[in-house]
A and B are shown apart, each in its own frame.
Chain A
Amino acid sequence: MPGILTVLEQRDGVVKRVSHEALAVARSLADELGCEVHALVIGPPGTDVDGLGQYGADKVLTSFDDELKLYQASRYGQIAAEQAMSGDYTAVILGATSLGKDLGPRIAARLGCPLTSDVTSVSGSDGVVVTRPVFAGRALYKLKITTTPSVITVRPNAFTPVSVANAGALEEVSAGEGVTASVARTVEVKAPENATLDVAEASIVVAGGRGLKEAEHFKLVEDLARALGGAVGASRAVVDAGWRPHSEQVGQTGKTVSPNLYIALGISGAIQHLAGMRTAKVIVAINKDADAPIFKVADYGIVGDLFEVVPPLTEAIIKAREG
């Protein structure tokens, strides 16, 4: 019987939310096709796999080994591809994170099958059909996948996790061979100096641009982000100026984000910036120029000096969240 394979992503032994989203996509596809969802968890022994049934998995396959704590591209690829080949899977689904965007193509190459990346909708009613943004979000492809299997990576925050009453029976699968430098070996993951929420994973993003005038003024952005429980983002102009790290850059040459709320402070809204955030559910812009292009995509705007608007906004948010 055919099925859908979902390759889940863990960090420090905890399965990420984006994988719950991928499971939701797999579940709805499997329901349309009348087949099962298998969740493959690659990671260190002790990775928490409780409750994956409720997120939509009929079966949870674990491939655990100490060496798999960090992302080992070649070995992860081998494990996932072997599993994908051992079953009659219609599709292999992953979250389009930095891991998923590296692993997905490897699985597809090993299977000799097509890949569609960063998709924002999937349907199985007439073969597998996906929608995906291209040209920096300025156009959308609707694509039909004409062979099976295929690999699909799904854009973070574009799908909502489901809750179903599945048991999600556990089964161990092979953990593949050891990793050497001749296949590339990840030796460490350096944490950033101040461990913060990543802009690509956050459901609320507060981003700052050149309107902040100086690196020090980003405290305003940080304070508002903290009040909202969100992450800090940046335009390329401020990254190039060295005010913020590249890891925070939103846009065509930065990260693509689809948070529930995106607040742009002193960002003009250049086309390459919009490429990275136009699919946010709610966009707020604060800019002193009423003609700034950012207002064309913003749901709510305040025309004004951010130095006057942001401090009372942060205060009001703190109050609103307390009350």
Chain B
Amino acid sequence: MKIAVCIKRVPDTETRIKIGADGKSIDESGVKFVPNPFDEYAVEEALKLKEQTNGEVVAVCLGPDASQETLRTALAMGADRGILLKVESLPQDPLVVARALAAELEQGGYDLVLFGKLAVDDYDQAVGSMVGELLGLPSVSAVTRLEITDGHATAQREVEGGVEVVEFTLPAIVTAEKGLNEPRYPALRGIMLAKKKPLDIKDLELDEGGIEVLELTLPPDRKAGRIIGEGAAAVPALVDALRNEAKVL
């Protein structure tokens, strides 16, 4: 099987967010960037499928030059080669991102393209499903279980109050949810090998699409709360506050 995995470079989730001087983006100084956590599930699934069926795993990233590092992580985990679609900056409009990725993926002749469910910076949860529609391929999002035999696939996705079971045929698009697998850590040998694996860089120019950033702000602090008291003795006061002050009972 020939499998592509789309991975994004994002700020580490522990990073303290500071707003940049333009008031529209984050201040990237001192920010540690990592591969998007959901994309690690996608890479792991691709590697597992490759181990079963042979073939090739290609990691694709749209982002600034520093995304080479992100791709190297996927290569160190075991992907065979990387493609960087290099841009100065990423637009807010997910359709612009989806179109750029779809144009690249269309040429690859992949049996399966894996995405993360969601990028933890923009929180769109959109690009995978959009690429599916743009390429006219079956696509299933937020998948926690995937089985593939002879070009036929069954996936499970958790929805409110149940688990949806979806059947489809390859080629197809799948986006990975936590629970699909446990991503492996790159071993030292993998990290060494990754340095020699091919990484194609293609320059791209993107338009802004239909979304203009007016501002990026920190969320208002929650109004300072109060400690009602200690231990079981505080229970009556808590119930009273919930009932008469917060009015939630």
Task: Decide if the interface of chain A is mainly helix, strand, loop or mixed.
Answer: mixed
CB neighbours of A116 from chain B (8 A):
211
Q: B143-183, CB under 8 A of A: which get 1 and which 0?
A: 01000000010001111111111111100100000110000
CB neighbours of A187 from chain B (8 A):
165-167
CB neighbours of A191 from chain B (8 A):
161-162
Q: Is B219 a contact of A140 with CB atoms below 8 Å? A: yes
Q: Of the candidates A117, A201, A305, which one forms a contact with B126 in the assembled complex, judged by CB atoms under 8 Å apart? A: A117
Q: Of the candidates A101, A189, A200, which one forms a contact with B163 in the assembled complex, judged by CB atoms under 8 Å apart? A: A189
Asked whether A98 is an interface residue with its Cβ less than 8 Å from the other chain, the reply is yes
Binds B, one of A42-50, A58-66, A159-167, A309-317: A309-317
State the CA gap A320–B239 with chains docked (Å): 8
Q: A271-301, CB under 8 A of B: which get 1 and which 0?
A: 1100100100111100000100001111111
Interface residues in B, total, Cβ within 8 A = 84
Q: 8 Å CB contacts to B: which residues of A108-140?
A: 108-110, 112-118, 129, 132-140
Given known pairs A117-B126, A135-B26, A304-B230, the reply for A141 and B160 (CB within 8 Å) is no
Asked whether A77 is an interface residue with its Cβ less than 8 Å from the other chain, the reply is yes
Asked whether B235 is an interface residue with its Cβ less than 8 Å from the other chain, the reply is yes
Q: Is A146 a contact of B230 with CB atoms below 8 Å? A: no
- How many residue-residue contacts, CB under 8 A, span A and B? 275
Asked whether B93 is an interface residue with its Cβ less than 8 Å from the other chain, the reply is yes
CB neighbours of A299 from chain B (8 A):
222-223, 225-226, 246
Q: Is B14 a contact of A261 with CB atoms below 8 Å? A: no
Asked whether A213 is an interface residue with its Cβ less than 8 Å from the other chain, the reply is no
Q: Is A302 a contact of B161 with CB atoms below 8 Å? A: no
Given known pairs A283-B225, A302-B227, A304-B234, the reply for A109 and B125 (CB within 8 Å) is no
State the CA gap A192–B238 with chains docked (Å): 33
CB neighbours of A296 from chain B (8 A):
222
Query: Nearest-CB distance from A20 to chain B (Å)?
Result: 15
Q: 8 Å CB contacts to A: which residues of B209-249?
A: 209-219, 222-223, 225-232, 234-236, 238-239, 241-243, 246, 248-249
Q: Is B37 a contact of A253 with CB atoms below 8 Å? A: yes
Asked whether B82 is an interface residue with its Cβ less than 8 Å from the other chain, the reply is no
Binds A, one of B52-60, B63-71, B127-135, B193-201: B127-135
Q: B103-139, CB under 8 A of A: which get 1 and which 0?
A: 0000000000000000011111111111111100011
- Can you spell out 6 A-B residue pairs with CB atoms less than 8 angstroms apart? A102-B129, A106-B130, A116-B211, A118-B125, A146-B212, A190-B163
Enumerate chain B interface residues (CB-CB to A < 8 A): 11, 13-14, 17, 19, 26, 37-38, 92-95, 98, 120-134, 138-142, 144, 152, 156-169, 172, 178-179, 209-219, 222-223, 225-232, 234-236, 238-239, 241-243, 246, 248-249
Enumerate chain A interface residues (CB-CB to B < 8 A): 11, 70-71, 73-74, 77, 97-99, 101-102, 104-106, 108-110, 112-118, 129, 132-147, 150, 181-192, 195, 198, 200-201, 204, 228, 246-247, 249, 252-254, 260-261, 271-272, 275, 278, 281-284, 290, 295-305, 308-309, 312-313, 316-317, 320-321
Using A11-B161, A184-B168 as known contacts, list a sample of 9 further A-B pairs with CB atoms less than 8 Å apart, ordered by residue number in A.
Answer: A98-B157, A117-B123, A139-B219, A143-B92, A145-B211, A182-B168, A190-B163, A299-B226, A300-B226
